Chains A and B, each alone.
Chain A
Amino acid sequence: MQKEKNIFERNPGLTLIILLLLIIIILDFLFGLIFVQENFQSFRIQKYYYHHGLRPNRKGYTRWSINIYPMITNSLGFRDETTRKINLKPDKRRILFLGDSHTEGVDLPFDKTFTGILASKAKEKDTEILSAAVVSYSPKIHYLIAEYLMENKGFQCDEIYVFIDISDIQNELVYENFNPGKYSFIKDWWINFKNFSNRRSLIISTIKETKDKKGKEEFFSKSKLFTDRLEGNQLAETFSTDLYYSFFTHFDDNVMLANPRFHGVGDWFYDEEFIKVAERGIKLGQSNILKLKQLCDRHNIKLTIAVHPWHGQITRHETNGYYVQSWQDFARTNNIGFINLFPLFINEENPQAVIKKYYIYNDNHWNEKGHQKVAGKLEENVWE
């Protein structure tokens, strides 16, 4: 009696194709392990629900401009002192900081950032301080990450501090078309798989690299960055420019993109052409903070917002200009806590001396001394 053929014997062609594919995939990931180099930004990943974030439990190094500094994340993908598991339900008072690159603390190790300084002091105060801040976050992303953590993951905290600055008005416009829709586990898994493949598959990473290179070239030629001198804040020629490109994935206003002044967000309020755009950016930001406030109210969390200045505002000596006033009024109307960090940097001191002392050279971000100053001011508020 003839032996019955199994599924592979019945389909030799298909078997061969599947086998070949499997071999290719295995070899691809194997070669990926050897040949795909991790770079200083590879811990920054796409997030389907809140646009972008940090890879959890990662211990490595990163770079903002020249200094290479340690970058460590905890199990939730928050910048931290060590890789550690964060319980969703805290066993003590927990404060969450949300913000952008200033709060992430670019160019400094975590313990030298204001959140790191406060986190280390918090241990004595029976409080836990976490920072979910990431470069180029703005109110919309603050709301989305908070919603993701609280409504989908069951994360709990007692207070949230949101750091807001003038770059948010541009980010809010850029993220206006970014809508993650309803939370879906499959979408979450898929983007994680994509992130993994980008790092580990030789074929996929090569395709991505080529695509990114082309995209960057197109973006920089379209936006005329580095070809025209921007009036006001010229984008610093640092590695952050690569990051800058990656945040425009959902922005398709080519006319705006091609206007060099669009990239000098620090000057929008002093530019007749851009003042309306700036106001729209503030409105979008405030509507997202309002959503965050409603979310906080649902979870019984106290919300505080803090505003801080850029170089342009310091040199113009604007302690209480339209920008600050607008956020202050908004906070008062909606019963949100408000911290104005402008007087900390705009006072009797010479503005250029302040910039030299507390900011990274030629950059709007705080240096070590700047972070110490901010931490000192926040201590008045955060400890109960």
Chain B
Amino acid sequence: MKKDIKKWQGNWKKMCGNNIPSKFLVCTVSILMFWSCSPRSSYQQRIDEYQVTPGKRYELAVAIGEYAHYFPDDVEILPEYAEILLTKGFYDECISICDHILERENNAWETYYTRAMAKSLIWDFDGSLNDLQIMLQNWKTTKKIEESQSLIRQYAEIHESIQILDKKIRDHPTEYSLYKNRGDLFLSMNEPVAAIADYRFCLDSAGFDHEVIWNKFRAEILNFDFEAAEQDIEQIRLSNIQDSMMNLELMSSLITDARNHSVIIKNDPGNIDSYLELARIFTFLEIEHKAIEYLSTALEIQPDNIQVKYHMAVVYAFSDKKDKASKILTELETQGVQVPDQLKKMIE
């Protein structure tokens, strides 16, 4: 046994010499070799691979779920994985990982933000606002947190209005305007599927209504259900109702453009022109929050793109967020961009 140890020590000396840097190098290489073969790293590799492979959304979430199960104490990387689940639409799973992280480290402040966003998306507005409040009280006040808080408060108010309408519908189930109003609220809450359900019920029960069908059309586009949007156009065509809002050719072209540009983005997520085009479509459809979402993504790709910034200012101006619009326009003017007077007047 002693002989073996001495032999091993001899080999170690031969390999590293007698200096510390070479010993350190050999140790690091060994640790890295061990690390690359460990299940932890194999999971991380799989997760990285699924993230960049189209159509692997579900496998990605499964691998993250397994990672959180097998390595629950890795609070270094789990917050990042929770964010991935949030962006991929796995809200409950995201909340469960955030709970897990916060049980172990209650000052992982950014995880509160991730959890707040996920909670708001499953309509747990109280829970979401509570998480943001914890961040503001114990961590720091940032514009991002305050803006999110204000948006979630807005959604919570809309949700309360929806609950009031639910009660009214219970008492007056044949008053179809209530369903239309509720559909509009869902649409403003970025919940097109629920909005479509109410509009459909309204149309089936009360017959053709140009406003309802136009809103349904907007919701179908927001839901990227272009076939259903085409059916709406067909329904309008069959109704023979002439309305200035119902420019059928324009509606058809919106469908074609939205379809084409969403395909382009799917294949080329860095295509700024398509983000701009989709933002234009949603601005036209008066779904400004979606337009802002596309423009924000475009700005993440090209933070200095003047065209995107200009469009962002226009959308803010249209959605009555004059402060934000004015700030962007001032910035653009300092860069030598000529802002049309009409737009300036809008935000005054």
Q: Contact residues of A with B, CB < 8 Å? A: 61, 63, 65-68, 237-238, 315, 317, 347-353, 356-357, 360-361, 367
**In the bound complex, do residue A315 and residue B197 qualify as a contact, i.e. CB atoms below 8 Å apart?**
yes
User: What 4 pairs across the A-B complex have the smallest Cβ distances?
Assistant: A348-B170, A352-B194, A68-B69, A348-B169
* 12 contacts across the A-B interface (CB closer than 8 A): A66-B61, A67-B93, A68-B69, A237-B58, A315-B197, A348-B167, A348-B169, A350-B194, A353-B186, A353-B191, A356-B123, A361-B89
Knowing A61-B69, A66-B65, A66-B93, say if A352 contacts B193 (CB, 8 Å). Answer: yes
Measured CA separation A295–B196 after assembly (Å): 48
Closest CB of chain B to A267's CB: distance in Å? 17
**In the bound complex, do residue B122 and residue A356 qualify as a contact, i.e. CB atoms below 8 Å apart?**
yes
Closest CB of chain A to B328's CB: distance in Å? 34
Contacts A66-B61, A352-B196 supplied; 14 other A-B pairs, CB < 8 Å: A63-B65, A66-B58, A67-B65, A348-B166, A348-B170, A348-B173, A350-B162, A351-B197, A352-B194, A356-B122, A357-B123, A360-B92, A361-B89, A367-B92
How many residues of B sit at the interface, in one of the four size bands? 20 to 34
**A65: chain B residues within 8 A (beta carbon):** 62
Chain B, interface SS category:
helix
Chain A, interface SS category:
loop
Choice from B92, B122, B167, B170 contacting A67 with Cβ under 8 Å: B92
Closest CB of chain B to A358's CB: distance in Å? 11
Does B113 sit at the interface, judged by CB under 8 A? no
8 Å CB interface, B30-86 against A: 58, 61-62, 64-66, 68-69
**B96: chain A residues within 8 A (beta carbon):** 67
8 Å CB interface, B235-294 against A: none
Measured CA separation A67–B85 after assembly (Å): 12
Closest CB of chain B to A374's CB: distance in Å? 18
Does B115 sit at the interface, judged by CB under 8 A? no
Closest CB of chain A to B122's CB: distance in Å? 7
Measured CA separation A133–B173 after assembly (Å): 37
**In the bound complex, do residue A68 and residue B166 qualify as a contact, i.e. CB atoms below 8 Å apart?**
no
**In the bound complex, do residue A350 and residue B197 qualify as a contact, i.e. CB atoms below 8 Å apart?**
yes
**A353: chain B residues within 8 A (beta carbon):** 162, 186, 191, 194
Closest CB of chain A to B135's CB: distance in Å? 25
**In the bound complex, do residue B167 and residue A352 qualify as a contact, i.e. CB atoms below 8 Å apart?**
no
**B69: chain A residues within 8 A (beta carbon):** 61, 68
**B193: chain A residues within 8 A (beta carbon):** 352
**In the bound complex, do residue B65 and residue A352 qualify as a contact, i.e. CB atoms below 8 Å apart?**
no
Measured CA separation A352–B187 after assembly (Å): 13
Measured CA separation A193–B166 after assembly (Å): 56
Measured CA separation A347–B166 after assembly (Å): 9
Q: A367: nearest residue on chain B (CB-CB)?
A: B92
